[in-house]
Structure 1
Amino acid sequence: MIKGLNPVALINPPGIFIVFGGLFGVCIAAYGMDAMKRLPTYYKTAFNTEPPDLGGNVVLMHHFADRARRDGLLALEEEANQIEDPFVKKGLGLVVDGSDPDTVAEVLELEIESMESRHRTGHELFKGAAGFAPTLGVLGACMGLLKAMELLDSPELLGPAIAAAFMATLYGVGAANVVLMPISESLKAKTAAEVKSRQMVIEGLLAVQAGDNPRMVAEKLMAFVPPEQRLSVEEQMEGGRPNLKAVDGGAEAKAA
């Protein structure tokens, strides 16, 4: 805080109305009311969602491969009924039903594309708002300066009027760079992480369907896991059956 600056001086109702009221209006015009209604979900996803459990995916696919090798693919129907993650559940169901591997991959890739499309609305909304906000701030400043010009004959009032006018610019630039753009980048990064997790699941399910050795399935999927987490994953695989209800559904499932 600047020495001697009264925090109350940072509050300018007309500037707040012009920047944030205008921002709400232009975002509705650009992205629609349905996207605006999902703002709480976007905020929740940006700040509260943990990254997908890639190690858990390795353990899960290793378990599926082991069960399929011992009891056959049809035995995985029992596992599918216990899984809460809809993406894994759908993929495993296709495998159990004997679908062609190309069909399994195609269906699940379409699911990923659909998820990316839904998520794109969120991070593009915040990115667009970050572009609109500074412009609205300048607009508010111009309106405030026009009012200040009426006070040229009153020097004691002119300074505060000009300062108040520039508050709108502060609101616009601050909101864009401190709030809106970081949220957009956070949502974009979380989408990329979830896509990576789902692609990992596809690779695992196709390997299970092909009858690969459980150890080879795990080794293949370890490429997705950061090196510092791999020892922990090895220990989990040695621990036996995973908790199927604890399978991470990703940001989309948690935000629903």
Structure 2
Amino acid sequence: MDILSVIGVLIGIGALLFGNFLEGANLNSLVNGPAFIIVFGGTIGATLLQFPPQIFVRSLRLGLWVFFPKKKDLTVEIDKIVEWSQLARKQGLLGLEDKIDSEPDQFIKKGLQLLVDGNEPEDIRDILELEINNREDVDLQGAKMLEAMGGYAPTVGMLAAVMGLIHVMENLSDPQLLGSGIATAFVATVYGVGSANLFFLPMANKVKTYVYASSQAREMIAEGLIAISQGENPRNIKLKLSGYLHERESVSL
């Protein structure tokens, strides 16, 4: 679990509630069913209209990365690549064939298969880079969906506020209905602006960070496999790949 994400959510919500308490209001003043339905229903509806189903589903999965990132230890991956390079120097590239079935990562498995099949280093690079770029593009589309929700929510909140004020104007002669209309107007604005700036936009940016880190990890693996195909010294391979660590030993994939 990403403890900073949890702390961020708690601090953000806590600050709003505590500030509301200091102003003398109670929690019920921020609870408004019609405003909630209009803002979040409208935001989801606009998002579904903009993005295809596969991007929507992918974005939901990526959203989980914010709180439950999948960590992969890069030092372990480097050690595996160095071990494979030593095995390849002793037994040839065909000696890596047994490693393919035991490798759980589909990207690495593809790279190993390309090695065993005797492809040229440039061909291996082209194939793996294509997959890296395509995966990054798809994942960034998922992050853009969260970003889009951060753009729609405040606008829909303003729309709900206008609807609430229209309701107020229609019932100026009935004071009992004025309160609910004004409450819907202002609470809807809070829902829209608050959800965008406390959840959707920060989540989108954090997902982007994980996507770029994931792509960099795959680039490291690709470079290692290409170095094996070129017959580089295992020690040199380890020195080259250690440059990808950048003072962090694990990334989210």
Provide TM-score, normalisation by structure 2.
Answer: 0.84
| Residue in 1 that maps onto 2:103 | 83
Equivalent in 49, 68, 82 of residue 62 of structure 1 = 82
TM alignment of 1:160-179, pairs within 5 A: 161-179=181-199
Q: Which has the higher contact order (CA 8 A, sep 6+)?
A: 1
| Residue in 2 that maps onto 1:142 | 162
Identity across matched positions, percent: 36
Secondary structure of 1:23 counterpart:
helix
8 Å CA contact retained: 2:115, 2:229 = yes
Report how many aligned residue pairs link the two structures.
233
Secondary structure of 1:47 counterpart:
coil
| Residue in 2 that maps onto 1:71 | 91
| Residue in 1 that maps onto 2:140 | 120
Counterpart amino acid of 1:22?
A: G
* Structure 2: distance between partners of 1:202 and 1:38: 24
Contiguous gaps of at least 5 residues in structure 2: 1-17
| Residue in 2 that maps onto 1:240 | none
Deviation at 1:227, TM superposition (A): 3.6
Deviations 1:190-221 (A, max 9, x none): 11011000100111011111111111110010
| Residue in 2 that maps onto 1:50 | 70
Counterpart amino acid of 1:89?
A: K
Counterpart amino acid of 1:126?
A: L
8 Å CA contact retained: 1:52, 1:193 = no
Instruction: Kindly report the root-mean-square deviation, in angstroms, between the aligned alpha carbons of the 2 structures.
Output: 2.1
8 Å CA contact retained: 2:171, 2:177 = yes
8 Å CA contact retained: 1:19, 1:133 = yes
Deviation at 1:74, TM superposition (A): 1.1
* Structure 1: distance between partners of 2:248 and 2:153: 41
| Residue in 1 that maps onto 2:39 | 19
Equivalent in 203, 216, 220 of residue 223 of structure 2 = 203
Equivalent in 242, 245, 250 of residue 222 of structure 1 = 242
Deviation at 1:249, TM superposition (A): 11
Deviations 1:97-156 (A, max 9, x none): 110111100000111122112212210110011001100000001111112224445667
Deviates more, 1:160-169 or 1:95-104: 160-169
Counterpart amino acid of 1:33?
A: P
8 Å CA contact retained: 1:73, 1:95 = yes
Counterpart amino acid of 1:109?
A: E
Cα 1:95–1:43, aligned 2, differ >3 Å: closer, same or farther?
same
* Structure 1: distance between partners of 2:59 and 2:137: 16
8 Å CA contact retained: 2:155, 2:192 = yes
Deviation at 1:225, TM superposition (A): 1.0
| Residue in 1 that maps onto 2:151 | 131
8 Å CA contact retained: 2:160, 2:184 = no
| Residue in 2 that maps onto 1:94 | 114
8 Å CA contact retained: 2:157, 2:193 = yes
Deviation at 1:54, TM superposition (A): 1.6
Deviates more, 1:3-12 or 1:98-107: 3-12
| Residue in 2 that maps onto 1:181 | 201
